[in-house]
Structure 1
Amino acid sequence: MGNPSAAGTSSSNYLVSKPQYVLSYNSFRGTPNWVSWHLSSAWIGSTPRQDDFRADNTLPAAFYKVQSSDYTGSGFDRGHNCPSADRTLSEADNSATFLMSNMIPQAGPNNQQTWANLENYCRTLVNAGNELYIIMGSYGKGGTGSNGYKETIAAGKVTVPNRIWKVIVVLPNGTGDVSRVTASTRVIAVNTPNTTNISSSWSAYRTTVDAIEAATGYDLLSNVPAAIQNTLEARVDSAPIQ
């Protein structure tokens, strides 16, 4: 659906394209700016969680490679952007989600409840015959984990984000996906604080794509025609949640 930050070769906006997802990596923050992926039944299988958290050694040599141990004792989870359960067709696909370039320091209740519930909801939409285009990111500095408020972890090498967001485009299964996005396509935008004091209901944090763009400076859904973008991005999703 587009490259929201025009990511390329910049150390703060470095484009990484993997078979399982695409991301913009920020070597100064030690986290992705955003991660984008497609979710359909073709990605879902029976592969168990690999839990092989590890450094992403495909990043440029000059970048610090965040280690799993950098999060140890920090009070924050190693929070997936592209979830493990969205990539269960093969061990290689699932393992790719455990690269540290796909992680952010995420408050436990935020990760394990609010975002887990949203991720599960996305998969129910897939089970109902849809395919999704998902982009998740974070911004700002400073969050509250189990050990209190922190702006960085790992001796300053990893920035703790202040806000965590996601945009989900919902399409019935089909082909020519971008061309099928219309002014009535369902788009879910969510923006949460990175804190332990958070509702487990992600629907409480629904917002507009426009608001996320204003906060980040990104151009989301840029491959969608402008007139359709303008309609979709100004709307707050209000569909009932089962």
Structure 2
Amino acid sequence: MRRTRKNRIIYTVLLAAVIILFWVIEQYFLPWWTRVEPDQKMVLPEFVEPGTLRGDVIKHAFYSLEYSEQHEQARWVAYTLTRSHLTNDDRRRPFFEKDPWVKTASADWRNYKNSGYDRGHLCPAGDRRFSESAYNETFYTSNISPMDPDFNAGVWNRLEIQVRNWARKYDTLYVITGGVLRKGLPSIGYEEVSVPRAFYKIVVRQNNGDLETVAFLIPHRETSQPLEAFRVSIDQLEEETGIDFFKSMEDRQEDRLEEAIEGSSWPF
């Protein structure tokens, strides 16, 4: 009887210790990427997610991506951008971290050190200031690509600002973006992170029940040319990237979106 009572006390103490241990781990050791506000998770329609090319598809709380182990970066990143996302909240810039959800492990940020290239965001941190979790999530290394500093701060930044302006005007946008990844690219770091020769971006919005798109393909160098000079059809992007965009969409609608280079509906 005494032994049974003693065992119960031991089990109770051990159970309490385990509960306390998990609480401590959650509060102090699990990284910020596990702490997401459930009501702020991104809603991304199925048609926005492109077809995959043997990569690792990761669905984070505030963006999705397909990770290419061969190139040590995302083949595409897709996310929703709304007017309410565009805040000026002051966020403390975190360190870049490996993406724990990439099975093969995303590239270490040290690959970029002394390379001459920026750790260029694909889903911009500036689009995710509305939430600490959302902001910090953009600092996974799966969400960055080597970018020339002048390009990153120049034409690529101008395009990101333009997309924000469209979000203020139209509210809900869906964005798909990435570097053009192919064989034979130069690389940086001990993990040989590929350096794209061009970057692309697709923006989608609803307009009176129809979908409208605008797409860009920009060579990886700074330029003073206007953004309109880099507009292309999605068909052209598919040829350049090998990615099947809007794969789950009805064929006729997909063809219409991919063939068109929309005009006045996207004011600059």
TM-score normalised by the chain length of structure 1: 0.82
CA offsets 1:115-150 (integer angstroms, 9 cap, x no match) = 11111111111212431010002224699xxxxxx8
Range that drifts further, 42-51 or 202-211: 42-51
Residue pairs, 1:5-84, within 5 angstroms: 5-6=51-52, 10=54, 13-60=55-102, 63-84=104-125
Structure 1 residue corresponding to 2:158, chosen from 114, 117, 124: 117
* Alpha-carbon separation, structure 1, partners of 2:133 and 2:75: 23
Give the whole-Å Cα distance in 2 for the aligned partners of 1:232 and 1:203. 18
Partner of 1:206: 231
With over 3 angstroms needed to count, the CA separation of the structure-2 counterparts of 1:227 and 1:80, relative to structure 1, is same
* Preserved contact between residue 30 and residue 159 of structure 1 (Cα < 8 Å): yes
- Whichever residue aligns with residue 115 of structure 2, its letter is S
Pairing 1:104–2:150 present:
no
**Gaps in structure 1 of 5+ consecutive residues:** 144-149, 175-179
5 Å-filtered alignment, 1:191-230, equals: 191-196=217-222, 198-199=223-224, 201-230=226-255
Deviations 1:67-90 (A, max 9, x none): 223212211111111011111111
Q: Which structure: greater strand fraction?
A: 1
Corresponding residue for residue 187 of structure 2 = 152
Give the root-mean-square deviation of aligned CA atoms.
2.4
1:14 Cα deviation (Å)? Answer: 0.3
Change (3 A) 1:127 1:101: same
Give 1:154's aligned amino acid: G
Aligned to 2:216: 190
Number of residue equivalences: 221
Percent identical among aligned pairs is: 25
CA contact (8 A) 1:35 1:102 kept: yes
Partner of 2:134: 93
| 8 A Cα contact 1:49 1:85, kept in partner | no
Q: Please give the alpha-carbon distance, in whole angstroms, between the structure 2 residues aligned to 1:224 and 1:132.
A: 17
Q: What secondary structure sits across from 1:128 in the alignment?
A: helix
Question: Secondary structure of 1:52's partner?
Answer: coil
Contact 1:79 1:111 in 2 (8 A): yes
Q: Can you list the C-alpha shifts for 1:65-114, whole angstroms capped at 9, x where unaligned? A: 42223212211111111011111111111111111110000122221111
* Cα distance change of structure 1 residues 76 and 49 upon mapping to structure 2, 3 Å threshold: farther
**Separation in structure 2 between the aligned mates of residue 210 and residue 57 of structure 1, nearest angstrom:** 31
Distance 1:141 1:112, change over 3 A: farther
Q: Report which of the two has the higher share of helix.
A: 2
Q: Report the more deviating stretch, 79-88 or 121-130.
A: 121-130
In the alignment, is the contact (CA less than 8 A) between 2:86 and 2:129 conserved in 1?
A: yes
Q: For 2:165, what is the secondary structure of its paired residue?
A: helix
| Shift in alpha-carbon separation, 1:228–1:107, aligned structure 2, 3 A | same
Please tell me whether residue 231 in structure 1 is matched to residue 256 in structure 2.
yes
Give distance in 2, aligned partners of 1:192 and 1:82.
Answer: 16
**TM-score normalised according to structure 2 size:** 0.74
Using the alignment, how far apart are the partners of 1:222 and 1:60 within structure 2? Answer: 23
Distance 1:194 1:218 in 2: 19
Instruction: Specify the alignment match of 2:14 in structure 1.
Output: none
